[in-house]
Amino acid sequence: MTFTENSEYAMQNEKRNTNTGRMLKDVLVQAQSEGRTTFGIYECAQLLNTAPDDVTLCASFQWETMEM
C-alpha cells in the first residue's frame, strides 16, 4: 500500500467514524426527546435488574480531561 492509498483509506475511515458518531448522537437525542432513555449508573443498573428485555443499548462514556 502506498502513502497515497494509505492516506485515502485513513480519510475514508475518519469520515465513516464521524458519520457513525453523528448517527449515534441523532438517535440518542431523539430517544431522549421521546423519554426512552435512562441516565446514571444506579438507574441503569436498576433497569437492567428489573426489566432487562426492555434494554436495547447500554453505553458508558469516559470523558477525556485536558491536562495543563
Per-residue pLDDT of the chain (68 residues; tens, 9 = 90+): 455 565 666 667 676 666 777 888 888 889 889 998 888 888 888 988 999 888 887 777 776 776 65
Residue 47 in contact with residue 54, Cβ under 8 Å? yes
C-alpha cell at 51: 426489566
pLDDT attached to residue 8: 67
Which of 24, 48, 23 has the alpha carbon at shortest distance from 38? 48
What does the DSSP 8-state code read for residue 40? S
Whether pTM exceeds 0.75:
no
Domain boundaries defined on the chain: 3-52
The Cα-based distances of 48 to 22, 34, 45, 52, 62 in angstroms read: 26, 20, 5, 4, 20
Q: What is the pLDDT of residue 68?
A: 58
